[in-house]
Structure 1
Amino acid sequence: MTAASWLELCLDVHDPGKFDAMASFWSTAAGLRREPWPGAGDEPDDLVGGAGCGISLCPVPEPRTVKHRVHLDVHVRAVDDLVAAGATVLQELPHWTVLADPEGGELCAFVRAPDQDLPDYRVHEVVVDAVDPERITRWWADRFDVGVQNDGEPWWWVQDVPGMPFDSLVFQPVPEPKTVKNRVHWDLEGDVDDFLAAGATRLWDQPRWTVLADPEGNEFCVFAPR
C-alpha cells in the first residue's frame, strides 16, 4: 500500500451571486489569497497559499439543505473579524463560536489570545460528523499510514498526515446519518486501487482524478501521485 498524501480542501458554492462573497470570506477566514479562475466560464476565484493550504471553491447546482457534515475550525483574533468579512454568529460556546459563511455553511472560530501568534494559514482542523468515529478514524489512519489519536473523549482524530497543513482531521459522533453529498471534501494523492481494496466506493471518474467515498460515505478525490 502507498500512503496517501494531502492536496487541498474543496468547498461547494451554489449561488453565482455569492461567488465573490464566498471567495472574499474564505480568503479572510483561512488566511489565503485569491487568484482568478484560469479557465473559461464564470467560476469562483481559487484560494491559494502554501503547499496543501488551498481551498478550491466548486460551483454546484444543488443548494445547501442540511447542516454541513464536514466543517472547518479556524484560528481568529476576534469573532468580529469574521462577522465583518460576511459571517453570521449562530451559537457562542465556552471555547469557540459557531458561525455561518455567506451561503450558510457552518464553521467554528477559536479566538487566540493577543500574546499568541496568529498563523498565516488559519485552518486549525477539519471536523467530520461520524456514526462510528473510532472505526472511520482508524480507516483513514491506515490510508495515511499515521497513528490514531484519542484522549478518552467521544471524538477521534489523525495528525501528521503527509502534506496536511493543519493540526488534525477529527471525526466526531452525531446521531443523524449522512443523507446528501458533503459540501466540503478533500483532494488527495494516492492509489485508487488501494482505496478500493480497503473498502472505499468508486463514485465516478474524471479525466485527471477519481471521486471515491469512504466507508461512511464521505466523498473525496484521488489524484495519481506526481
Structure 2
Amino acid sequence: MSTRLACVVFDADRPRSVAGFWAELLGWTVTLDRPDQVDVAAPDPDSPELALTFLPSTRAKRGKNRLHLDLASRSLDHQRTQVDQALALGAHPVDIGQGVVPWVVLADPEGNEFCVLEPRAEYVDAGAVAAIVVDTRDHVRLADFWSAASGWPVTRHAARLTGLRSATGLGSWLEFVHSAQPSPGRCRLSLDLAAFPAVDQAAELDRLRAAGATPIDSDRVNCLALTDPETNEFRLRWLAHDWSTT
C-alpha cells in the first residue's frame, strides 16, 4: 500500500496546552514542539499506535465532534484511575445523550469529547487508544472508503458499526458508528494520510477521487486537503522522506 494512516489531527486554540493534556493522560511524549505544530506519540518508536498532531486554529468548535477517541482500560479500577487523572488534568464530564452506560464520556480542556471505556476483550492489545471513532450516516460506505484510502481491512461488522484495523492486527481500531444526524460543520479532529516518497501524486489523487474523496483548498505546505464521502476533512501529506519521522 502506497499510502497509510499517519496521525489524528486536532485543531486547537492552544496546541501546546492541549497536547500536554493528551501526552500526560496517555503516558506519551511530545516528539515535536513548534509554534505551528505539536506532535504527541507513544514512547516506543516501534509502537503501532497512531500519533496525535495539534495544529493552531481559529475556528470555534460547534457541536459534538464527529470524530473522537476511545481510551482502553485493563480493569474497572484502571478505568476509574484514568477518569480521575483526566479530571485532574483539566477534563470535564459531558452529556451527549449517552444515558446510563459502562463507559465514561469526558471532554478535554478544549471541549473535544472522548470516552474512557470499561475493559473489553477486543481492545486488550490495542494500546492506550482503543479506537478512533467516527459518527456517520452510512457506516458501511464510509468504512469502505477509508479502507481503500488507508489500506486497513474491514475486520468487524455489526448492526450499527463497521471497524477497520491495520493488517498487522495491532494498534487502535478505526470504527464507523451509525448516527442519524452527525454534527454539521467542520470537525476539530481529522485524519492525516501519508504517502511514501515514490508515490505518483497525480495517480494517488485519482485513486482517492475514484474511492469517493473530493479535493479542497489547503493552507498547508506539502499536503493536499480533501473530504471523504460524508465531507469529513482529511489531509494527504506529500513527504520527501519517511512519513514516520515527521
Q: Select the structure that is richer in helix.
A: 2
TM-score range, shorter chain: 0.7 to 0.9
Q: Which amino acid aligns with 1:135?
A: R
Structure 1 residues 4-59: Cα deviation after superposition (integer angstroms, max 9, x where no partner): 31211111112x4xx44412211123332124624xxx456431333653211111
**1:37 corresponding residue in structure 2:** 33
Cα 1:202/1:43, change in 2 over 3 Å: closer
Is structure 2 residue 231 aligned with structure 1 residue 217? yes
Task: Supply the RMSD in Å over aligned alpha carbons.
Answer: 2.8
> For 2:64, what is the secondary structure of its paired residue?
coil
**2:161 corresponding residue in structure 1:** 155
Residue from 60, 64, 69 that aligns with 1:67: 64
Shift of 1:71: 0.3
> For 2:149, what is the secondary structure of its paired residue?
helix
Q: Distance in 1 between matches of 2:227 and 2:130?
A: 24
List gaps (5 residues or longer) in structure 2. Answer: 196-203
Shift of 1:187: 1.1
Q: Distance in 1 between matches of 2:10 and 2:187?
A: 9
What TM-score comes out, normalization by structure 1 length? 0.82
Structure 1 residues 204-225: Cα deviation after superposition (integer angstroms, max 9, x where no partner): 2443110111111111111236
Cα 1:44/1:144, change in 2 over 3 Å: closer
**1:207 corresponding residue in structure 2:** 221
Shift of 1:174: 1.1
Question: What percentage of aligned pairs have identical amino acids?
Answer: 25
What TM-score comes out, normalization by structure 2 length? 0.76
**1:86 corresponding residue in structure 2:** 90
Q: Distance in 2 between matches of 1:202 and 1:100?
A: 31
Retained in 1: the 8 A contact 2:64–2:183? no
- Spell out structure 1 runs of 4+ moving beyond 4 A: 118-121
List gaps (5 residues or longer) in structure 1. Answer: none
Retained in 1: the 8 A contact 2:126–2:173? no
Cα 1:165/1:84, change in 2 over 3 Å: farther
Structure 1 residues 64-112: Cα deviation after superposition (integer angstroms, max 9, x where no partner): 1210110001124221121112111225743311001101110000244
**1:170 corresponding residue in structure 2:** 175
Q: Which amino acid aligns with 1:59?
A: P
**1:195 corresponding residue in structure 2:** 208
